[in-house]
Amino acid sequence: MTTERGAGSLQEMLDERRHLLEIARWMFDSAAMADRVVQETYRRWYALGDAERAGIAVPRAWLTWTAGAVCLELLAGSEPAAAGGGRTHVPEPVQGRPATFDGHDRVVRRFAAACEAGDAAALRAVLATNAMVVSDGGGRVRTAVRPTHGADAVAHFVTELLAGQAGTELSVGPVNGRAGLVLRQAGRAVAVVAVSVAGTEVTAVWIMLNPDKLRHWHRG
């Protein structure tokens, strides 16, 4: 028999599909790739045992985090686990409750202030222990695409990418319907950052660097 909690979790999972598609499409600019990311994310959900699924307090947080892991695999050029029929072993996803709209805004502003100051300690303080960063790896601000998990590694990655860039301006603005970060040089966006938040912590940082995708955020 389906429990009330199980039914609620299923509804959360279905409601999250649109969000997962939007993030994947934002990273890859391809409907086919976005659908591939979401399909693999759901495959991993259904590959879990009943006890494992029952232990996931917030399915949408698990799904968002797992979609990020799939994006990292595809961006790095290695096929996701589905190609081999097995499961990719990655650290356990963050299990916090998704933040309210206002709570998300407050956390992102803390995150932005730490980025702007280049303060790695302040960044670690706002990041969940098992946070991840996903980047498309292209654009004027170059960075290698690599799986990056954990507050220390993410803080280092983000500090190198967003802090101390000569002639740049870092601002908070709407990204995918919620507060995110935009890095500009002479009014032209060179990086846009979407942020996933649970409770009072950043759980995932999604960085777009491809200049073809950044025109919407240019000024003037």
Q: How far apart are CA 70 and CA 83, in angstroms?
A: 12
Which one is predicted more confidently, 143 or 60?
60
**pLDDT for 23 beyond 80:** yes
Q: Calculate mean pLDDT across residues 111-136.
A: 90
The answer to the question of residue 136 being in a domain is: yes
Q: How far apart are CA 180 and CA 192, in angstroms?
A: 8
**pTM of the predicted protein model:** 0.71
Q: Quote the DSSP letter at residue 138.
A: -
Q: How far apart are CA 168 and CA 88, in angstroms?
A: 38
Residue ending a domain, choose from 83, 115, 150: 83
My answer on whether 134 and 160 are in the same domain is yes
My answer on whether 193 and 143 are in the same domain is yes
My answer on whether 109 and 213 are in the same domain is yes
Q: Calculate mean pLDDT across residues 171-197.
A: 89
My answer on whether 79 and 130 are in the same domain is no
Q: How far apart are CA 50 and CA 34, in angstroms?
A: 27
Judge whether 13 and 46 are in contact, CB under 8 Å. no
Write out pLDDT tens, residues 31-52.
888 888 988 988 888 888 888 8
By residue range, what is the domain housing residue 184? 101-217
Confidence (pLDDT) at 96 = 57
Q: How far apart are CA 135 and CA 121, in angstroms?
A: 22
Q: How confident is the model at residue 220 (pLDDT cuts 50, 70, 90)?
A: low
My answer on whether 54 and 130 are in the same domain is no
Identity of the residue numbered 102: D
Q: How confident is the model at residue 160 (pLDDT cuts 50, 70, 90)?
A: confident
My answer on whether 111 and 79 are in the same domain is no
**pLDDT for 178 beyond 50:** yes
My answer on whether 108 and 204 are in the same domain is yes
Q: Calculate mean pLDDT across residues 57-80.
A: 81
The answer to the question of residue 95 being in a domain is: no
Q: How confident is the model at residue 127 (pLDDT cuts 50, 70, 90)?
A: very high
Q: How confident is the model at residue 85 (pLDDT cuts 50, 70, 90)?
A: very low
